[in-house]
Amino acid sequence: MPTDALDAFVAALPKIELHVHLETSLRLRRLVERTGAGPALGAPHLVADPAVFVGYDRLRRLRYAGRAGRVPDAWYTRDRIAAVTAELVREAAAQNVRYVEVRVGGRRGFALLGVRGMLEAMAEGAASVRALGVGYGAIVTVVRERGPDDAARLVADAVACRDCGVVGIDLAGDEQNFPPALFAAALRPARDAGLGLTVHAGEFAGPAGIWTALYHLGADRIGHGIRAVEDPALMDHLRHRGVTLELCPTSNVRLGLVPSLARHPLAALRRAGVPVTVNSDDPLLLQTSLARELVAVARAHALTPADLVELQVAAARAAFAPEAVRRALEAAVRAVPLPAAGGSPVP
């Protein structure tokens, strides 16, 4: 498929994004500096130079410690959190994303606004652009390094905020030193309340972390999970159980976890029948988007338009949304006509 035709097909394809972080700090910087409401702090160096992603002693802390640069506490207001959430949804709508689950777990935002205040502000922002037709759900991220007691408190707050659009809990952070079993009791109320559960695993650590996330927590989805490819038995298990991997290809490359998009395990996982989705992870930090990710993996792995449709069907089925919403999303994706040579791979 020619480049222009691929771009046009991806643009027309209804899309579902399951793994995108609010990136409060970075979005706040852009909002405040753009509106002139605060001093410019300088561009975060992580955006300017992809090479700095490689070589950190503790890469797994990148998402939680200064990845976008600190901003003054005074910049964290309900109005601004609502504004950056609305901005994220507008960006999704511009890509023909029909449903997005937004992760939030920033300690500063929760500390300054309260968990409910933060989640209400996000819900207000999403509601302000509801006319764009993008479904919205919030996923509250629990960070392993903060321990099971902190996790239990955060889960209780998240369960109490289901009216703010909370649809799931995400366990993230240091895979190697904070195993999922530590958080089984803390996360159980989320499961009991009907929230979905996704676990960052198989990214910086190996397949064992995915196994334990499945057996100790009953994870519905796995964030990243690229190292499942190292264990055929695990891939069989993921296929039989229908556990979906939230792949974030550019993120994996920029963090040095895979050498290139062409060598990303997406294709091997798909061949093994593992349900996989494609996501942008941290779009501002990585200078990407869901549409760009889909175009990039299509080129790197010779995916056909039909393959791209199936990636979005997998995302629709794995969403932490009501069944009627999931079915409507899948129907919208399947309704997109394939090109006449829809089975032809992208060159």
Tokens of 27: 């979005």
Nearest to 318 by CA among 9, 19, 10: 19
- Answer whether 139's CB lies under 8 Å from 101's CB: yes
**CA 187 to CA 172: how far, in whole Å?**
12
Question: DSSP code of 245?
Answer: E
Beta strand 244-247 pairing with 221-224: parallel
Tokens of 239: 């296929």
- Answer whether 202's CB lies under 8 Å from 174's CB: no
Q: Which residue has the tokens 């958080």?
A: 183
Tokens of 154: 């955060």
Determine which one of 23, 124, 203, 330 is catalytic: 203
Tell me the C-alpha to C-alpha distance, in Å, between residue 65 and each of 16, 59, 292.
Answer: 28, 10, 26
Q: Where are the strands (E) in the chain, listed by range?
A: 15-21, 97-104, 135-143, 166-172, 196-201, 221-224, 244-247, 276-278
**CA 98 to CA 133: how far, in whole Å?**
7
Nearest to 170 by CA among 193, 145, 199: 199
Q: Would you call 203 a catalytic residue per the annotation?
A: yes
**CA 324 to CA 135: how far, in whole Å?**
12
Q: At what angle do helices 207-217 and 232-241 cross, to 10 degrees?
A: 30
Catalytic residues: 203
